[in-house]
Amino acid sequence: MESTVEIRVPDIGDFTGVPVIELLVAPGSVVRVEDPLVTLETDKATMEVPSPVAGTIVSLSVAVGDTVSQGSVIAIAEVAAEEVAAQEPAATSPAEPARATATQPPGATPAPGATPAPGATPAPAGTQPDPAPVVPEAADPDGGLRATPLVRRLARELDVDLAAVAGSGVKGRVTKQDLLAHYERGITPAGTTAGAGIPPIPEVDFAKFGPVRRVPLSRIKKLSGPHLHRSWLNIPHVTHADEADITDLDAYRRELDEAARADGYRVTLLSFLLKAAAAGLRRHPEVNSSLAGEELVLKDYVHIGVAVDTPDGLVVPVVRDVDRKGILELSRELADLSTRARDGKLTATDLQGATFTISSLGGIGGTHFTPIVNAPEVAILGVVRSKTAPVWDGEAFVPRLMLPLCLSYDHRVIDGALAARFTAHLADLAADVRRLVL
């Protein structure tokens, strides 16, 4: 005996209004448990929604471009009766309805499993219905602006008046892309600029000087740009530079890496830096904090974000409980996270909860740089390529492998002395890896 069940978006962390960018199944597709159904793209990465049941897809409740949140129905599946019984608690649990990107015409039938948003008003008499029936959105209670709650919240975070944003959506709706484009131009209703009156960069017709090509930014870059801009404008950045002698560490790392290759993974310098940073964060808890008004939130856990270069831009997956893991375990986890980041397979959990970030350019080059603090964190460590340099040992200059360290920090929380102590502690640990076990 078979029956149908609703497949809903599982827990995807704090993300809401997430766009559907790819449908991986169609009505009639036979799926197994954990088979991917749709691909979502958050502000930080893409993720696939797996099937919680085995059966046949009867219908899809979403299309490419629709937005969903935790609990939104994405498909109806026909499954065996025993499978329905196993899924009953999940199927009957409260869930948030999906948010759509366009209004639903009067009299249209909602998609299977979709729930109309409360308080939505029908289109005025005489207007033409929209071409496709989807779930309606509520109008903004302040002034009747048509925008999703996600867009209104983002507008508040960016300090942008939605009344000044030209909407390109149906019936003038302001989309997220409209808001971000407006913000990047630096326009506000009073003719001033976003970000406390900073004048916008004037537009230039580059074609006057020679041939040009225009390519769109990746979605990750479009969405991370405002976050980086906001962090740079709101955080008084200072960067402290130091060097670590990693001659002995690198020799030990090469031994571990040689053995690890047989097991299919690599031991990189980043694993040691994670471990050293975790020890430093434990010794200096202010660096492992966040500023909340006039209080510091000191975190009793150490989750470190690692910037990973992908074809679409940088993403920052999070390695959890770094202080409780050894070098080999961290190396395996880094390899897994890096692979999934480049393949677009990271989950929402993989991208949340960091207390500190490391950005390594060691495989590329450079001497020093200023990484931007990833708010609400208060510090970020940047590392570049190590180099052999003559170092005075008290009797003679000897060749040593030196690693530049660049710590950017929020000067409201961390002063220069603390930054110097923290970075010096990292350098001491890197110079003698035996201290990591103390």
185, 162 contact by CB (below 8 A): no
* 3-class DSSP state of 231: helix
Tokens of 126: 């005489």
- Cβ-based burial of 32 (10 A; exposed 0-12, middle 13-18, buried ≥19): exposed
**CB 279, CB 436: distance < 8 Å:** yes
- How many other C-beta atoms lie within 10 A of the C-beta of residue 260? 20
| Among 427, 373, 421, 436, residue whose Cα is nearest residue 404 | 427
Q: Which residue shows structure tokens 């980086």? A: 228
Tokens of 50: 């797996």
φ, ψ at 435 (rounded to 5°)? -70, -20
Q: Please state, in angstroms and rounded to a whole number, the distance separating the CA atoms of residues 179 and 173.
A: 11
DSSP calls for 71-126 = T-EEEEEEEEHHHHHHHHHHHTS--PPPPPSSPPPTTPPPPTT--PPTT--PPPTT
Options 227, 237, 284, 411, the catalytic residue: 411
CB-side neighbour CA atoms (13 Å) of 230: 17
Active site includes 237?
A: no
Report the residue count for the chain. 438
* Half-sphere CA count of 136, side-chain side, radius 13 A: 20
Tokens of 151: 């867009």
> What is the C-alpha to C-alpha distance for residues 255 and 269, in angstroms, rounded to an integer?
12
Question: In one letter, which amino acid is 428?
Answer: D
Ramachandran angles phi, psi of 419, nearest 5°: -60, -40
Residue positions annotated with a catalytic role: 411
